[in-house]
Amino acid sequence: MARNLFDVAGKIVLITGGTRGLGLAMAKGFAEAGADIVVSSRKAEACEAVAAELRALGVRSVGIPCHVGYWDQVDKLAEEGWAAFGRIDVLINNAGMSPLAPSSLETTEALFDKVVDVNFKGPFRLTSLVGSKMVAGAGGSIINISSTGALAPMPNIIPYAGAKAALNAASVAFAKEYGPKVRVNVISPGGFLTDVATEWKDSPTVTDRVALKRFGESEEIVSTALYLASDASSYTTAANIRVDGGAPP
């Protein structure tokens, strides 16, 4: 019975930021579990390359380019993503960016706006578009990928931490707005060895503070996403699950 609860075969999953890092790992993980995937990122060629890779796994997949910082592109993604397979069962708002700032004073308005646009404004809009259609249809699950940086913010990531904290708050409100047919949850990853892990990946001082004494591999995010997407989490909504190896709060 437990195996059936985790079953996502045949579900339609839309993943933003799905062509690299944690997003790509989730796209592959869901495809290997039998889900059909709408994969999105900024570059059309990357979307199509990943979609072709997923189709080779025996599932249906389409790639739709979108810069989530622009609402007109988000609106297009929601419309085309829904139309691709006639519904969306699972939305994973994974696209994000986390540039470091030399200081708060030296943070430019352009950088601040870009970080907020990608990490909060875009996911807010896509959740509202897809979530409302899920409510009008058969329901679904929405998973917002946040960060432990929002729970333990540091001076060099204040705009990023603030944007992810806003996403955390919005997720709770969306869970109330779209429940009971739609569940909305958050995953807060810690340090993962993705292609953006450049400045800290070789730092023993970081891993020394983590209970598991190491960084995460991209594939280690997949099981939590599968749990939140499946009936195994049928009584879980408005939750924020840390996947951080036991990093300090």
Q: What residues are labeled active site?
A: 160
Distance CA 190, CA 247 (A): 7
H helices of the chain, in order, are 2-5, 21-32, 44-55, 71-85, 109-116, 122-136, 158-178, 204-207, 222-229
Q: At what angle do helices 109-116 and 158-178 cross, to 10 degrees?
A: 30
Burial 113-145 (b: 16+ CB within 10 A, else e): eebbbbbbbbbbbbbbbbbebbbeeeebbbbbb
Burial 93-111 (b: 16+ CB within 10 A, else e): bbbbbbeebeeeeebeeee
Q: Is the dihedral of CA 45, 47, 48, 49 positive or negative?
A: positive
Which region holds residue 133: left if phi is over 0, alpha if psi is between -120 and 50, else beta?
alpha
Tokens matching residue 241 = 């699950």
Neighbour tally for 186: CB within 10 Å: 26
